[in-house]
Amino acid sequence: MTSIEADTRRAGALAAGETFAALESSASSTRFGHVELTHEILEWAARNYGEKLIVASNMQDAVLVKLGAEARPGVDVLFLETGYHFAETLGTRDAVAHVYGVNIVDALPDQTVAEQDALLGKDLFATDPGQCCNLRKVVPLQRTLAGYDAWVTGVRRVEAPTRANTPLVSWDERHELVKVNPIAHWTDEQMDAYIAENAVLVNPLVAEGYPSIGCAPCTAKPAPGADPRSGRWAGFTKTECGLHG
């Protein structure tokens, strides 16, 4: 992509971000409830980026996949196949592909788990989780996104302090493409209600007490009343896998 093309796409993303931010701020006085605003954002993304649009999902639930498939049937769905997932997560991925008719794009690391163990020592996640996430998530993500013009994420502001200011649409400087966060404004209660009202597929681990699901070795049940993400990388100061900056 040339610098002129990048500048044009960046300007378009920032303009769209301002437009949708204005719609969000006036939602109480317009027809745009939280779901309607999300539909509007995704329809804009599908209209502008078509086959160059990809929806990212960790398969905790299929809310974003369902919404993305409504805007663009058969949309590509990015799944980071780290080699460390719970069986329930892989089962959810396969069910999602069948139920919502989407195209799963498995983003694979350069090395299998066994190859990584042989090269860098067994269970890198236990000694250097940051490097493990980089090799098995960040690098595969970057390589996959290079084939697209825009990506859709399920980041929500209520999930963590680091996500509190997430815009609905922005320009992703790291990957040089448009980043769409169409459910950034949804509360936990709104997510739960949408799942219940629409019979959305949910990873069975959620019902077992896992409110934030990542790789199996680095995901534990949080203590009652604790931050939902406290079960991720327990024992480390790490709170993000590095996918969103």
Q: Is the separation of the CB atoms in 42 and 68 below 8 Å?
A: yes
Q: Which of 133, 215, 218, 241 is catalytic?
A: 241
Token pair 């049937």 is at which residue?
73
The 3 state secondary structure assigned to 88-137 is HHHHHHHHHHHHHCCEEEEECCCCCHHHHHHHHCCCHHHHCHHHHHHHHH
Q: Is the separation of the CB atoms in 80 and 137 below 8 Å?
A: yes
Residue 69: exposure state from Cβ atoms within 10 A (0-12, 13-18, ≥19): buried
Rounded CA-CA distance 11/6 in Å is: 9
Rounded CA-CA distance 73/66 in Å is: 9
The 3 state secondary structure assigned to 23-87 is HHHCHHHCCCCHHHHHHHHHHHHHHHHHHHEEEECCCCECHHHHHHHHHCCCCEEEEECCCCCCH
Catalytic residue at 241? yes
Catalytically annotated residues: 241
